Structure 1
């Protein structure tokens, strides 16, 4: 029977649910055994976030725990900013996995990936309400042909199609920040950028919880949007082949993502 030891660490700021070391990042009172897996979460409502009880909650958290339970793996959960997740996977110092990440060539070079665990709803553009956006605009036009100030989340991949368009956009029009979605939306509303790319799941959540959403923002689908991307379990190369096989077998037994 698998076990879970919660070891929440927030390396951006001092908010920690666990034992805090004054000399550095928060650490667990008991370090996980070498055979344990470290599962890395990052705050991104509604996919994964810290609930009122201090534990991880969200769509991908539920999927991840279902797979890990089926695989019979012992693991410790750690909350980190997205850019630190990439750093931990790249360092490859411990067996670590992050649930529900996109695959990209850059990530494939530093990590190994499971079978897919989730397929997103399409990404949309969330524009300032006063921005004039054609109703049938393409992502190519919006991101490279309209002189938009584009707000991006640091360390995130947006899928091959959008990533390629972002790479073509003038560098001075791009802003990459580490804030979470509420902060990104505040930046758009404050006229610090014109558009941010969000998943439909995120838009559904914030449009219901923010009473000013409809007044401040305009949501636009892109006519050239490809089929939504799939998400995977991204693991450091220190994770054994046996563990990866257990994860893939558990995914095949519990999830049907094409």
Structure 2
């Protein structure tokens, strides 16, 4: 049976595949990321955003070429902890479990602010202004990211609290919509990402509020989290580049 693919299209696909393979062969390691403006976005072979741009500056100063691959956070962690190749994930919080499974950069690539609470302005939590009041009530439902850490102290508060937690693999905008549609009482975002999501929702986003909570756990650093297959010399180069103020825009 003859292929229905036009010869020119086959040639184009083969060329693209060869180009991707060449870039991967030239790379020193794989760098996983996720499109999450304004945190990180891809433009050609570069990452931009408050996490992406500093990370690329560090890697360029360290002389490390990367093969950029987009993946959800849970998949990033799964791929890193397989330790099959030199690879790093960008912007992950440090946790005790991950410390055993991979390597962290010595310094954070970005210092994250505390988590803020996204709620409906007319929702059940409209009169709640304390983080403890959110996580300690079994009447409250939070939708959070599957396989994602919100920082060690926040994770601990969520685990020890009584609020119902729904873990979703959906992207950030879907979790914001879940709150907007009343499928959950709240979700957590850092201020810069939450505000960007509300703007992205347009007129409908006016029904949402991003609330700072005075007793929320403090923000934490976001690091390069790398596989054990990543050579120590590359980790050292990253650490040295991060220690230089010239590496950070």
- SS at the partner of 2:225? strand
State the match for 1:206 in structure 2.
197
Distance in structure 2 (CA, Å) of the matches to 1:132 and 1:255: 47
Does the CA contact (< 8 Å) of 2:77 and 2:89 recur in 1? no
Cα distance change of structure 1 residues 34 and 213 upon mapping to structure 2, 3 Å threshold: same
Of 248-257 and 101-110, deviating more is 248-257
Does the CA contact (< 8 Å) of 1:136 and 1:222 recur in 2? no
State the match for 1:94 in structure 2.
85
State the match for 1:46 in structure 2.
38
Q: TM-score, normalised by structure 1?
A: 0.80
State the match for 1:61 in structure 2.
52
- Cα deviation code 1:52-109 (max 9, x no counterpart): x686432221111100010011221111111110011110000001121110111111
Cα distance change of structure 1 residues 67 and 170 upon mapping to structure 2, 3 Å threshold: same
Listed as ranges, the gaps of 5+ residues in structure 1 are 1-17, 21-26
- SS at the partner of 1:212? helix
Listed as ranges, the gaps of 5+ residues in structure 2 are 1-15
State the match for 2:8 in structure 1.
none
Distance in structure 2 (CA, Å) of the matches to 1:256 and 1:40: 20
Cα distance change of structure 1 residues 188 and 35 upon mapping to structure 2, 3 Å threshold: closer
Cα distance change of structure 1 residues 135 and 161 upon mapping to structure 2, 3 Å threshold: farther
State the match for 2:158 in structure 1.
166
State the match for 1:119 in structure 2.
111
- SS at the partner of 2:149? coil
Q: How many matched pairs?
A: 232
Larger Rg: 2
Alignment partner for residue 236 of structure 1, among 219, 227, 230? Answer: 227
Cα root mean square deviation, aligned = 2.6
Distance in structure 1 (CA, Å) of the matches to 2:178 and 2:96: 30
Does the CA contact (< 8 Å) of 1:206 and 1:213 recur in 2? no
- Cα deviation code 1:155-187 (max 9, x no counterpart): 11111221112112448x211111111111111
State the match for 2:143 in structure 1.
151
Q: TM-score, normalised by structure 2?
A: 0.83
Alignment partner for residue 251 of structure 1, among 235, 242, 246? Answer: 242
Distance in structure 2 (CA, Å) of the matches to 1:232 and 1:162: 17
